[in-house]
Amino acid sequence: MPATLRSLLDRRDLRLRLLTPEDDRSALDTPVSWLHSSDLPDPTPFLQAGQALLTTGTQFGADPEVPSHLADAYVERLRTRGVVALGFGTEVVRAGTPDALVAACRTRGLPLFEVPYETSFIQVAQANADAVARDANARRDWAVAAQRAVSLAAMRPDGLGATIAELSRQLDCWVGLLDVSGRLDRSFPTGGVTAAEQQQLQAESTRLLRGGHRASLPVRTATGRFTLQTLGSGGDLSGVLAIATSGLDQPGREVVTAVIALAGLALQQNRELARARGLLRTGLLTMLSSGDPGVVETTSRQLWGPLPTEPVRVAAFDVAAERVDRVVDLLELWVQDRPGHLFFAVDDALFLCVSADDTGSVDRLVDHHDLHAGLSDSASYADFARARAQAVRALGRSREGRAGIVEFGDLAREGVLAHLAHTEAGPVARAFLAPLVDHDADAGTDLTRTVRTWLEQDCEYDRTASVLGVHRHTVRARIEHAGRLLGRDLGLFATRADVWAAFVALPADRPRSRTRPGAGREARSTPATRLPSGSARVRRT
C-alpha cells in the first residue's frame, strides 16, 4: 500500500485530524513521496511535486489571526508547486489552526490536517518514510514476481500471446502488440480499446516503424493515454508494444523491459522460422519455373493455402538487401489474411505471383515501399518460366527510371528495335557508324545526318532533300558515298535495317559530325531532330 495522507490519518498513534472536507477522495489517496517541515514564507524552492509540508505558522507572524491575503498567497504557492498536503502543528505558535489558512486550503483543494502538540513532526515524517519504504519493497517484490510470471507465460505454446496477456494482468491495463505493418496483431483484454483509438495507435505505430529506429512514444487519445515502444533492433524493427498507460514507476518499467526483451526474442524466432520457410518458397519457385506446378500446389496448400487461380501474372521487384526481411514479413501477413490470393518467393529478385485480374497487391507493395517492379503478361502455370522472364525484363526497364511498375506488354508494343536502346548494343552500333562519324569530323560533311534523315523519310530522296534543304541529287550522292564508307549496299533492305538499328541503339548518344573551322554550308546545317526511342510507360500507384 503506498504512503498517502489517508494512511497517515489512519495511524491512531499520531492523532492527526483532517480539517478540510473528505469529499475529494483522490486527494487523500494521492501518494506522499516525502514530508518536509518548514516555516519559511515561501518554502517552494525546496519542495517537489508529490511531497507534503509541515509547518507551525511562524511565517504568518505573532498575531492570533492570519490575514486572508497572506494565507491565500501561501496556499496558492504550495498548490502551484504540486504539494499534495499541508500539516499544521498547534500549540507551538498558535493554540489552533488559523481560520484563514483552513479557508484558503478549502478554496484551493489542498488537504489540511492538524498535528497536535504531543505528536512531533519527526514522528509524522518517520511514519511516512516507513510507509514509503514498505511500498518500495512491496513494488520490488511485485516486479520480481511479475517478471517470473511473464517468463513462465513465454514458455507456453503461444508464448507471445501469453506474454502479452500476463503483462496486461500484472499492470492491470490494456496491452496490444502491433505487427511490422502497424496492424494490431493481438491484444488483452480483447476489445479493450475503441475502434478510433485502435486506428490512431496503428497510424502512430506505422510512423514509428517507418522511421526504422528504436523509439518510445506517448500517445494521447480522446479517452486515454498510451505508450508505444518499438520491438527489435534499430534498422530491423519487428513490431510495436502498446500499453494503455503513460506513467510507470521503476518496477513497472522493469517488467515492461522484460516483456520487450521476450517479445523481441519471440518475434526474432518467428523471423528465423520465416527465413526457413522462405528457402522452401524459393525451391517451389524453381519448380514452378521448371514446369512442375502440381507438387508446388500441394505443398503450398498445406502451408500457406492454394496458389492463385490461373491465368496468373508474375511481378519482379528490386528490393535492397537490408529491406528484404521487412517486405517479406509484410507479404507473410498478406498471405495469412487472404490465403490463395498470392504466392511469393525470393530468388535473384522478389517475385510475386497473383491472379491476372487481381494485381492490387503489386500496386500496394510498390506504393508502400517505393519499389521498382516489372509485371508480366497473363500466363498459365505451364508457361510460368516465360512469365517470370518477362517480369525480369520489365524490371530491368523499370530500374532505368523512377520507382514504379513497368508492364512487359508495354515493352512489346514498342517493338524489337526500340528495345536496342536499353541493351548493351551501343558500343557495337557506335563502331558500326564510326566510318560516317569520322568522315564528317575530318571533312566537315554531314553524311551521318543525311543517312538518318533518309531512313526516317522511308528512303525517299525528294522528301529527304526537302527536310535537309538540298537538291535530291545531293542526297543521292551522299547516300552513295555513305554506302562506300560503310562498305555496305544501302539499296538492300537488310543493310538499311542494320543501319537503322544502329541509330536506334544510340538514342541518347547519337553520332554527330564535328564542324571544322571554315566548313561549308553542309557542316553548318542544324543537326537533325533526335528520333524518339519509345520508352515504356511507368505506372505509379
pLDDT of res. 36: 94
Cα 337 to Cα 332: distance, rounded to the nearest angstrom: 9
Mean pLDDT on 36-41: 94
Check pLDDT > 70 for residue 156: no
Higher-confidence residue of 25 and 176: namely: 176
Check pLDDT > 80 for residue 469: yes
Check pLDDT > 70 for residue 535: no
pLDDT of res. 246: 61
Check pLDDT > 70 for residue 267: no
pLDDT (tens digit per residue) in 307-329: 999 999 999 999 888 788 778 87
Residue 112 grid cell: 489540511
Alpha helices in 2-83 (DSSP H): 5-9, 25-28, 68-81
CB 86 within 8 A of CB 56: no
Check pLDDT > 60 for residue 120: yes
pLDDT (tens digit per residue) in 512-523: 433 333 333 333
pLDDT of res. 80: 93
Instruction: Give the sheet arrangement for strand 372-375, strand by strand.
Output: 342-346, 350-355, 312-318, 372-375, 404-407, 538-539
Cα 91 to Cα 9: distance, rounded to the nearest angstrom: 19
pLDDT of res. 525: 36
Mean pLDDT on 475-488: 90
pLDDT of res. 254: 78
pLDDT > 90: percent of the chain: 26
Mean pLDDT on 220-247: 79
Check pLDDT > 70 for residue 526: no
Cell 506474454 belongs to 163
Q: Give Cα separations from 216 to 24, 243, 399, 501 (angstroms).
A: 34, 11, 36, 59
Residue 497 grid cell: 535495317
pLDDT of res. 419: 57
Higher-confidence residue of 473 and 156: namely: 473
User: What confidence category does residue 158 fall into, taking pLDDT thresholds of 50, 70 and 90?
Assistant: low
- Model's pTM, two decimal places? 0.42
Mean pLDDT rounded to a whole number for the chain:
82
Check pLDDT > 90 for residue 52: yes
User: What confidence category does residue 17 fall into, taking pLDDT thresholds of 50, 70 and 90?
Assistant: very high
Cα 405 to Cα 369: distance, rounded to the nearest angstrom: 13
Helix (H, G, I), strand (E, B) or coil at 228: strand
Helix (H, G, I), strand (E, B) or coil at 56: coil
Mean pLDDT on 71-93: 93
